Structure 1
């Protein structure tokens, strides 16, 4: 009976917030998002820059009063976790203001746990295992999305390199045939007998 009540409490009083996004941050701009949290709610934001420039971006997370809770400068990937100290709108921003021409593609995930006091302090072993499993699944999901972004970045690099090699080969062939044609023409004119009439 206690186990069923604990599971009921876990699934209805401790919902998990999970969302994933892919956004483009234009050069010289910043994109900001927010989450409404209550005191003791937990939130984690992980991000990965997939395309653009040097694959870096500025990121920060602030509380409702504007106090910066975490900041990362010119990183290609990162994660910030917080536990809300006050109720209100917590804002997180991706800034590409350091770049004048390169837009950045950023993939990010937001996940967290809504805190519930009272009976939630008494945790049954099955609840502890479920929480541990949920945290592990979230970690695996983040790692999988990181791998997908890296694979896309490497594929783009390989395709770009392939295109450059192809066009360099075409240019070399054009130069080679041009030199051969010029040499044939020059040698032909060198051995021509000029007659004076």
Structure 2
């Protein structure tokens, strides 16, 4: 078999794992569900991170995965981030859901990635170069997931710092107003002790 550059380009397009990145908002008492149609031995990984919350709620979410028969095969409760990988043992629609049903007032902002790789049968011959490309592709996807995680963490930390800075600023202003008010009252009160009152 003669290996041509065009073969490598075509293989790169086919070998790269499928990947999806999303950012959603989930209202209190609601849930969002998605599904992936997998064939036996296809692989899928879901990673998620709660990046914000309105109304002062905790940065957590419920996450669960169900198989094509509706049976829950994985669940995590009240976690700020998580990851789940599966290798499908049967074909069909695998559903994964993010639930904010435990919250009554806080909307959650969630970022999640879905990536995986289609299964290639054992009877298909894979050239060493193709296997290296496949390994590099998986490593690249891990780096991209880590970068996405760091971006979300940076956003959460920045929001926390800005919120803390705003609270400190307003508390300092309130303290300054109280201090000037007390000083003015003390001066007025002490001044009244030294006033000469005329007796008619």
Establish whether TM, by shorter chain, passes 0.5: yes
Q: Does 1:97 align with 2:101?
A: yes
What are the within-5 Å matches in structure 2 for residues 85-164 of structure 1? 85-117=89-121, 119-120=123-124, 122-164=125-167
Q: Deviations over 1:99-140 (max 9, x none)?
A: 2221111100111112233653x2211111111101110000
Runs of 4+ deviating beyond 6 Å: none
Q: How many matched pairs?
A: 196
Shift in CA distance, 42/196, structure 1 to aligned 2, threshold 3 Å? same
Q: Does 1:188 align with 2:178?
A: no
SS in structure 2 opposite 1:19?
Answer: strand
TM-score of the superposition, structure 1-length normalised?
0.91
SS in structure 1 opposite 2:51?
Answer: strand
SS in structure 1 opposite 2:18?
Answer: strand
Tell me the CA shift for residue 41 of structure 1.
1.6
Q: Does 1:23 align with 2:27?
A: no
Residue aligning to 1:64: 68
User: Is the 1:6–1:124 Cα contact (8 Å) retained in structure 2?
Assistant: no
Residue aligning to 2:40: 39
User: Is the 1:40–1:83 Cα contact (8 Å) retained in structure 2?
Assistant: yes
Structure 2: runs of 5+ lacking an equivalent? none
Tell me the CA shift for residue 69 of structure 1.
2.3
Alpha carbon RMSD of aligned pairs, Å? 2.0
Structure 1: runs of 5+ lacking an equivalent? none
Residue aligning to 1:82: 86
Tell me the CA shift for residue 11 of structure 1.
4.6
User: Is the 1:35–1:89 Cα contact (8 Å) retained in structure 2?
Assistant: yes
Shift in CA distance, 84/2, structure 1 to aligned 2, threshold 3 Å? farther
CA distance in 1, matches of 2:171, 2:191: 30
Q: Does 1:176 align with 2:179?
A: yes
Q: Deviations over 1:14-49 (max 9, x none)?
A: 563111000111112111111122222211111111
CA distance in 1, matches of 2:168, 2:147: 31
